[in-house]
Amino acid sequence: MLNGRRIVVVLPAYNAERTLEQTYQEIPLDIVDDVLMVDDGSTDSTVSLAGKLGIHTIIHNRNYGYGRNQKTCYIEALKRNADIVVMLHPDYQYTPKLITAMASMIAYDVYDVVLGSRIVGGGALKGGMPFYKYIANRFLTAVENLLLRSKLSEFHTGYRAFSKRVLEDLPLHVNSDNFIFDNEMLAQVIYFGYRVGEISCPTKYFKEASSIHFGKSVVYGLGVLNTTFKFRLQKLGLINSKLFSREEGSIKSDYYQEV
């Protein structure tokens, strides 16, 4: 715990057997109360390895997608009485050593959401981020900051920490089950006025680290622009999108089994 807040780390996993153990070993268990992994239909030994490591594991009955994996992560973390949830990819692209700092910023009520930014500190390219992804990241972030009236260094990091209040409030179940989920969620965070902080996070790109290919990157980029324009049109009162409606209620869970 930190400042009396219960901290749960969630690991959205898919074929992560080569990096799971290394990731888990660096989680600061002195302040983390619980670690939860959701496996999205892996075809390797991710689940059996998680069992050997003693990680509480939820198994999707098939591969539903990265977005739905996160939905289950947050539902189950809340069921396990989390006050702060840190979402960490088990592919070791982001260092678990920053969990304490990120959780502290929420535990002491400085921010409601904290992002591990690959851009702050200039380490993205040094860490091996492909140049085309770096350029796309900068372009999309510039457009988003302009239309969302924000000043974030990047919108596309997968290393994030959330307060319980944020996860209970956002209509996450209407979000995509695919990679665009991350962007939709952050747009919702900004739309509903939550405080967002950033911390510099070194990143590593290597063979075992997960990454979407060029084709899916293009689809993701178009999805980002679509979400951004929906945000601005909603603010102008020109549309009524479910993404930005509290009337949609909370996330639901009925597509997995617990082991």
pLDDT tens digits, 138-176? 999 999 999 999 999 999 999 999 999 999 999 999 999
pLDDT at 208: 57
Inter-residue contact 147 to 215 (CB < 8 Å): no
pLDDT tens digits, 187-229? 999 999 999 999 999 887 756 555 567 778 899 999 999 999 9
Predicted confidence (pLDDT) at residue 56 exceeds the cutoff of 90:
yes
Inter-residue contact 14 to 39 (CB < 8 Å): yes
Q: Give CA–CA dist 253/134, Å, rounded.
A: 35
Overall average pLDDT of the 107-135 stretch: 88
User: SS3 for 22?
Assistant: helix
Domain layout of the chain by residue ranges: 7-170+195-213
Token pair 């189950």: residue: 76
Q: Give CA–CA dist 64/66, Å, rounded.
A: 7
The highest-level CATH class for domain 7-170+195-213 is alpha beta
Alpha carbon 136 to its chain's center: 19
Task: Return the H-helix or E-strand segment holding 57.
Answer: strand 56-60
For 82-135, the DSSP string reads -SEEEE--TTSSB-GGGHHHHHHHHHTTS-SEEEEESSTTS-TTTTT--HHHHH
Q: Give CA–CA dist 188/166, Å, rounded.
A: 10
pLDDT at 256: 41
pLDDT at 210: 54
pLDDT tens digits, 58-112? 999 999 999 999 999 999 999 999 999 999 999 999 999 999 999 999 999 999 9
pTM: 0.92
- Say what percent of the chain tops pLDDT 70: 92
Inter-residue contact 189 to 113 (CB < 8 Å): yes
Q: Give CA–CA dist 254/259, Å, rounded.
A: 15
